[in-house]
Amino acid sequence: MAEPIRLRMSAPDVPPPAPPDGGETGLAESLGHWSPTRALGRAVLVVSVLLFVAVLLRRADLVVLAAPFALGAAIGVWRRPEALPAVRVSVASELLSEGRPVQAQISVGNTDPIGYDLVVLRTATSPWLRLRHSDRPYVTSVASQTVADIDLEGEALRWGRPALGPTHAWAVAADGLLVSDAGVANARRLKVFPVTETFDAVEAMPKAAGLVGGHRSRRPGEGGELAGVRMFAPGDRLRRIDWRVSLRTQELHVAATLSDRDAEVVLLLDVLHEAGRSGGIQGARSVLDTTVRAAAGIAEHYLHAGDRVALLEYGFRARRLRAAGGRRQYLTVLEWLLDVSAQHGAYEPSPAAFGPHTVSANALVVVLTPLLDTRAAAMVARFARAGRFVVAVDTLPPDIPLPVQEGWGTLAGRLWKLDRDNTIGQLREHGVPVVAWAGAGSLDEVLRGVSRMAGGVRPGAR
Amino acid sequence: MSERSERQNRRDDAFSWIENLTDRVRRAAPGPMLVRGGVFLAALAAQLVAWPGAVVLGTPVLVLVVIAVLPALTPRSWLVTLAVLAAVLGWLASTTAYQEPLTYWRLILLAGLLYLLHNLAALAAVLPYDAVVSPGVLTGWLRRYGVVVLLTAAVAMFTRLLPTYLPGQRYLVASLVGLGLMVAVAAYLATLVRRR
């Protein structure tokens, strides 16, 4: 028999459970936590039948046949533990990222002076935690006043808050004649952060909101990016004078620079639908996988560049993370993304919660959407009509299979695809670039277009 | 509901049952299977020891094999009791109808095998079929079994030697005391069962 788990026995560090009535436990009270099994009933029946026949036929050999049943049951029940098993689930680290190893430990303690014959442990585990043998019950013996530790090792497969537990433990005593009520350990929630998609955008932000930041703007001003050389004018700083050009031309010239600006990026996550089957970090991606990993990548990029990033969930919970910058905001974004989940509903999320007025006029709005729902397309169009700089990132997996069925299934699938293509075309007519997510450089082309548009007059701008 | 859909439902149920069975077989772990194998061997050995040679060496032995298989397949059912009582019946048949000699070692062997059958069936009943079992569980279980069998051997020796040392009147009293003790144990256990 293989031994896939490592067991360690040590002194218990869990307090003994209090008696139910808070006083001395008698036979009835102690059996309140323990139940006889069918084996005890069988032992009683066999002993009774054998003794009856022994008396009836005056056969001492039948008493010998009954003796082990009676002795085994009597010894087992006489020396029975009373305390329930105490269980605890612990993990080496609750902060993980996708694909990283998980180290957990289940401890089952016996505070009773009499040992358990065995303890059956069942642990419920999230499908996104691949722990060795976690889908099977464990059976181990626990001696008196000791703790048995069971190490579970594996890896976290997908972002989110996967649960480890709850764990139930049933103790068996008296050679299988008594079984205890379950000792329960509550579930532990891990934090598995998404692996950040590599993302890089070289294009300038369409509109800046502040006078400091990491982006060169399209406006002249104080900054580090050289815009050209021009004649000196009142108000120019003396340190800006380009002495070489001034000597050559015999007139004062200054080096003109473009101002440095920061910007606000709003990531709008469409969580109305989940589509595709997630296979974890090493498998296929669902819509939410792409949405969360892409959001983490885009947020990391812009926060690293010094911009402010806000997040908004387009669904019925209307979760929102206000704009901020820096490393702390990046960690907050990752934590915020852990709770992203699909929110189905028949109604349209309130336009008051997702209207253009909720977003700064200068912000770049990146909508991560699978475009499976006309409600989401309408929301994007509203932002565009209001003059916001909107980029739609298509998060629908390209390899998602269309239905192939007899009858009208195939045709319906093709019609649905045509309808979706039509929606994308309409969004483009509204001036919303739609681009499929492809990691680094995904948004360069569309950001270039948005920046060009930002230089012109926006009819709906407020 | 039409006859065709009923047939379809029955077929679906059958497929579901087969799928469930194959899944259980695929997930079965070595530890619990080892214990169930022990239940089968103990039940078979008990039947072979208990029943007379004429039955064991003839065609009826196939019935004994079936009786031995059933507790291994369903250790939580009444079939374990049936296997124990079948062996007791065979023992009575051997020593009465077939006039086979009642030897001390055969009696001890049968008592040990019957208790092993009961004990391993109790273990198999609490072990999930797909459980990962620590080896210490099995060794501890068998150690306790060995203690009980040793005590049984002592009881058997006591019942065998007692008549030679006690006169008839005292032997009767001692037998009644022993019997009363056993009845008291059975009654105590019965009260525990009633508290279920």
Q: What is the pLDDT of residues B36-48, one digit of tens each?
A: 999 999 999 999 9
Q: How many structural domains does chain A have?
A: 3
What pLDDT sits at residue A87?
92
Question: Quick check: A361 pLDDT over 70?
Answer: yes
Residue range A373-384: mean pLDDT, rounded:
88
> In the predicted model, is pLDDT for residue A313 greater than 80?
yes
Tokens of B13: 């149920």
Q: Are residues A188 and A301 in the same domain?
A: no
Residue A203 counted as domain residue: no
Kindly state whether residue A20 falls inside one of the protein's structural domains: no
Is residue A442 domain-shared with residue A306, that is, in the same domain?
yes
Residues A411, A441 share a domain: yes
Residue A1 has its nearest CB partner, among B30, B107, B119, at B30
pLDDT at A22 over 60: no
Encoded tokens for B53: 């040679």
d(CA A420, CA A436): 14
What secondary structure does DSSP assign to A263-323, as a single string? -EEEEEEE-S---S----TTS---HHHHHHHHHHHHHHHHHHTT-EEEEEEESSS--EEEE
| CA gap A239, A254 in Å, rounded | 9
Residue A15 banded pLDDT, cuts 50, 70, 90: very low
Identify the band that residue B87 occupies on the pLDDT scale cut at 50, 70 and 90. very high
pLDDT band at B124 (very low <50, low <70, confident <90, very high): very high
When scoring A38, A51, A123, A179 by the number of chain B Cβ atoms within 10 A, the one with the most, hence best to mutate, is: A38
Q: Residue B134 burial (CB < 10 Å; 0-12/13-18/19+)?
A: buried
Do the bridges between strand A95-97 and strand A191-193 make them parallel or antiparallel, or are there none, so unpaired?
parallel
A211, part of any domain: no
Residue A244 makes CB contacts below 8 A (sequence gap 6+) with: none
Higher pLDDT, B3 or A162: A162
Residue A210's CB: how many other CB atoms inside 10 A? Answer: 16
Report chain B's C-alpha Rg in angstroms: 22
The burial class, CB within 10 Å (0-12 / 13-18 / 19+), for A14 is middle
pLDDT of residue A11: 41
Nearest chain A CA: its distance from B194 CA (Å)? 9
* In contact, A354 and A270? CB cutoff 8 Å: no
Q: Which amino acid is at B106?
A: R
Residue A133 predicted with pLDDT over 60: yes
Residue B126 and residue A3: Cβ atoms within 8 Å? no
Report whether pLDDT(A10) > 50. no
- What per-residue confidence (pLDDT) applies to A266? 92
Highest mean pLDDT among A89-103, A345-359, B73-87: B73-87
The Cα A364–Cα A310 span in angstroms is 10
Residue A302: what pLDDT?
Answer: 84
* Contact call for A120 and B189, based on CB within 8 A: no
Question: Residue A89 pairs with which residues in a beta bridge?
Answer: A106
Q: Cα separation of B183 and A77, whole Å?
A: 16
Smallest Cα–Cα separation from A5: which of A179, A136, A116?
A136
**A132 and A245 both lie in a single domain:** no
- Domain final residue, candidates A261, A278, A310: A261
More reliable by pLDDT, B16 or A219: B16
CATH number (domain holding residue A358): 3.40.50.410
Region B115-134 average pLDDT: 93
A4 contacts in chain B (CB < 8 Å): 132
CB A339 within 8 A of CB A161: yes
CB A390 within 8 A of CB A294: no
ipTM summary value: 0.86
A413, containing H or E segment: helix A409-429
Mean per-residue pLDDT for B110-122? 94
Residues near A347 by beta carbon (within 8 Å), at least 6 away in sequence: A316
Nearest to A129 by CA among A87, A168, A159, A89: A159
Q: What is the pLDDT of residue A451?
A: 60
Q: Taking 50 as the threshold, does the pLDDT of residue A1 lie above it?
A: no
Structural domain contains residue A210: no
**B134 with A60: Cβ contact below 8 A:** no
Q: Which single residue is written with the structure tokens 């580090």?
A: A224
Question: Alpha-carbon distance B115 to B122, whole Å?
Answer: 10
Q: Is residue A204 part of a domain?
A: no
Residue A423 lies in a domain: yes
Q: How confident is the model at residue A375 (pLDDT cuts 50, 70, 90)?
A: confident
DSSP string for B87-115: HHHHHHHHHTTS-----HHHHHHHHHHHH
B182 inside 8 A of chain A by CB: yes
Domain residue spans in chain B?
3-165, 167-196
- State which residue of chain B sits closest to A40, comparing Cα positions: B193
CA gyration radius, chain A:
34
Cα end-to-end distance, chain B, whole Å: 43
Is residue A234 located within the same domain as residue A270? Answer: no
One domain, residues A256 and A279: no
Nearest CA in chain B to A54: B179
Output the CA torsion sign for A230, A231, A233, A236: positive
Mean pLDDT of the region B77-96: 94
Q: How confident is the model at residue A118 (pLDDT cuts 50, 70, 90)?
A: very high
- Measured distance CA(A404)–CA(A399) in Å, rounded: 14
Q: Is the pLDDT of residue A12 over 60?
A: no
Name the residue with higher pLDDT: B15 or A257: B15
Digit-coded pLDDT (tens) for A141-185: 999 989 999 888 999 999 999 999 899 999 999 999 999 999 999
- Residue B67: per-residue pLDDT: 94
Within-domain flag for A103: yes
> What gap in Å lies between CA A223 and CA A120, rounded to an integer?
69
Position B74 scores a pLDDT of 92
Q: What pLDDT does A280 receive?
A: 85
| Whether A45 and B121 lie within 8 Å, measured CB to CB | no
Instruction: Supply the DSSP string of B140-184, one letter for each residue.
Output: HHHHHHHHHHHHHHHHHHHHHHHHHHS-HHHHHHHHHHHHHHHHH
Give the integer Cα–Cα distance in Å for A89 and A99. Answer: 21
Residue B162: name the closest of B173, B147, B150 by CA. Answer: B173
Q: What is the pLDDT of residue A26?
A: 42
> What does the pLDDT read at residue A85?
92
Each residue of A25-35: pLDDT tens digit?
A: 344 444 568 88
Which residue is closest to B192 within chain A, CA to CA?
Answer: A36
Q: Which two tokens stand for residue A31?
A: 């059996």
Mean pLDDT, chain B, integer: 86
Write down the mean pLDDT value for chain A. 80
Residues A243 and A369 in one domain: no
Q: Note down the domain range covering A242.
A: 220-261
Q: Note the pLDDT of residue A78.
A: 83
Which of A72-86, A218-232, A392-406, B56-70 has the least mean pLDDT?
A218-232
From residue A84, how far is each of A112, A116, B35, B122 by CA, in Å?
A: 8, 10, 26, 20
Q: Phi first, then psi: what are they for A329, rounded to 5°? A: -65, -35
Which pLDDT value is given to residue A334? Answer: 94
Closest by alpha carbon to A65, among B159, B135, B24? B159
A250 and A272 co-located in one domain: no
Is the pLDDT reported for residue B122 higher than 80? yes
pLDDT at A2 over 90: no
Whether A64 sits inside 8 A of B108 (CB atoms) is yes
- Asked if the structure places residue A171 within a domain, the reply is yes
Which positions 97-126 of B are in contact with A (Cβ < 8 Å)? Answer: 102, 107-108, 110-112, 114-115, 118-119, 121-123, 125-126
